[in-house]
Amino acid sequence: MAGEHITAYLCVHDADAAIDFYQRAFGAKQRLRLTGDDGRVGHADLAIGDASFMLSDEWPEGNVVSPKTLGNTPIALHLRVDNVDTFFAQAIAAGATEERPVSDQVYGERGGVLRDPFGHRWFVATQTEYLSNDEMRRRFEGEGYETRGE
């Protein structure tokens, strides 16, 4: 694969259960799983459609800890899907928790926020409009936000 890109790498408490959850809730496909002699998943590579992410079990001795150990997460993942309403309902049925219900957003998406059972936050959305930067600024300023940038 050429070019720059970024891939999320999640640390979870109980990677085997997390992989099962992501497969059931998000339709993820496991591409690789490497398990150590101690039974911990040292590396797994998963895909949701064209989006990929990696994960591992906690390795506290290497300062790799999960949201469960930290008590929260400072990171959220944004996942675009074809039908957010169906995707969201499937994730809730599989054990995710709704943090913000699915609704139409001012920035041209229909989306909501889930927390998976392992503490990670997922912004899940379907693109409903393609907005220019000028239109995005206009809409956000109409909501009371100050905008900057190009």
**pLDDT tier for residue 100 given thresholds of 50, 70 and 90:** very high
pLDDT over 70, % of the chain? 98
pLDDT digits (tens, 9 = 90+) for 39-96: 999 999 999 999 999 999 999 999 999 999 999 998 999 999 999 999 999 999 999 9
The pTM assigned to this predicted structure is 0.88
What backbone phi and psi angles, to 5 degrees, belong to 93? -60, -30
pLDDT value for 2: 66
Report all structural domains of the chain as residue ranges with CATH numbers, in order of start.
Answer: 8-142 (3.10.180.10)
